[in-house]
Structure formats: structure tokens, C-alpha cells
Amino acid sequence: MSDPIVGIVMGSDSDWPMMEPAAQALAEFDVPWEAHVVSAHRTPRRMLDYAESAAGRGLRVVIAGAGGAAHLPGMVAAATPLPVIGVPRPLDRLDGLDSLLSIVQMPAGVPVATVSIGGGRNAGLLAVRILAAGDDRLRAAVERFQADLAASVVARDDALQQ
Ligand code: RP5
């Protein structure tokens, strides 16, 4: 497989079930990815090393998922020039509202593109769209994906009419 151009990071391996759909979406578009556990709180130096080296290693987008006091996406965004997509994880308490607010309320100057609570698949699809802005093959693939999505909705509506 080619060198990864999207980095998936998460605060704990327990986040992987939420993040795996991001990897699956990237794979559907033949976008090479890597995944690592990088915690803002438990492994802060590892997180900084990852963020500071990401662009130089050839990554072009980072997807970061975490739950609770979910500082990982924002801290990664603070230490890399790459676009960062944040994925809030719903934990047992507060239903992910804590994670969402921790990720989305970034100070001016340090953007994180936050997807919905538990929105791993959309994070992968958003990464594909970011890459597609400068890649004709990917843009055509995104357009096919959108056409297929619309067709699937119409097909389900047709099925209801019987
Ligand atoms: C966060 O704490 C992680 O991103 C995870 O969402 C949550 C719980 O982690 P574990 O206790 O399951 O390792 O930092």
C-alpha cells in the first residue's frame, strides 16, 4: 500500500470502534491511511511528536477522535498546519455532549472541523472531500458516491410504493 496521507489518531484504543468507519470510508476511495493511539493527557509528548511530524511525513489531513475531556483534536490542530477533523465520542455519561463541546469550541486561529457525535464515517468522507479539492480522480469518485447515495434513497422510496 502507498504511504498514508490521512492520519487517524484517537485518545484510547477504546475509541477504535468509532474511528474504524473513518478508515473504512478512506479505504473505499483508495486513500491510504494510518491509525495510532495518541492521548493528549496520557501521552502528551507522543501527541506533540505526532502532530509536529505529521506534515513532514506526508500526511495531508488528520482525523482525531476522543471522548470526555476531548482535547486531542484541538491540541493536534495547535501543533500542525494540516487540517484537523475532530470526532466526539459518546461515553456513558453526558451522551457525548462533553466531547462535542470540548472539540468544537476552539479559540479563533486554531480551527478544528468537528463532525457529529460518533461521526467517524463522516470524518473519513470529509477527509476525502478535502483531498478531492486538489485531485481530479478523487473529485470524480466523490461525485459518483453522491450520485449512488441519491439513487439508493430513490430506490428505497420506490420499495415503499409496493
Ligand atoms: C479519552 O478518554 C479517550 O479518547 C476515550 O474516549 C476516553 C476513555 O478512554 P479509556 O478509559 O477507554 O482508555 O481520553
Q: What is the DSSP string of 20-42?
A: HHHHHHHHHTT--EEEEE--TTT
Structure confidence at residue 30 as a pLDDT band (50, 70, 90): very high
- The best mutation among 12, 47, 95 to test binding of ligand 1, ranked by most ligand atoms within 8 Å of the C-beta, falls on 12
CB 91 within 8 A of CB 68: yes
* CATH T-level topology, domain 6-136: Rossmann fold (3.40.50)
Q: Give the side-chain half-sphere CA count within 13 A for 142.
A: 19
Is the Cβ atom of 73 under 6 angstroms away from ligand 1? no
Question: Looking at ligand 1, which residue's alpha carbon is closest to its atom 7?
Answer: 67
Sorted by where each begins, the domain ranges of the chain are: 6-136
48-95, pLDDT tens digit by residue?
A: 999 999 999 999 999 999 999 999 999 999 999 999 999 999 999 999
Ranges 1-5, 6-10, 60-64, 105-109: which has the least confidence: 1-5
Residue 157 marked in a binding site: no
3-state secondary structure 119-138: CHHHHHHHHHHHHHCCCHHH
Closest atom, ligand 1, to C-alpha of 89: 6
pLDDT value for 1: 62
Given 3-state DSSP classes, what are the helix, strand and coil percentages for the chain, each rounded to the nearest 5? 50, 15, 35
Q: Examine the predicted complex and report whether its ipTM is higher than 0.90.
A: yes
pLDDT surpassing 70 at residue 97: yes
Is the Cβ atom of 39 under 6 angstroms away from ligand 1? yes
pLDDT surpassing 80 at residue 28: yes
Q: What is the C-alpha separation between 102 and 105, in angstroms, rounded?
A: 6
pTM of the model as a whole = 0.96
| d(CA 15, ligand 1 centre) in Å | 7
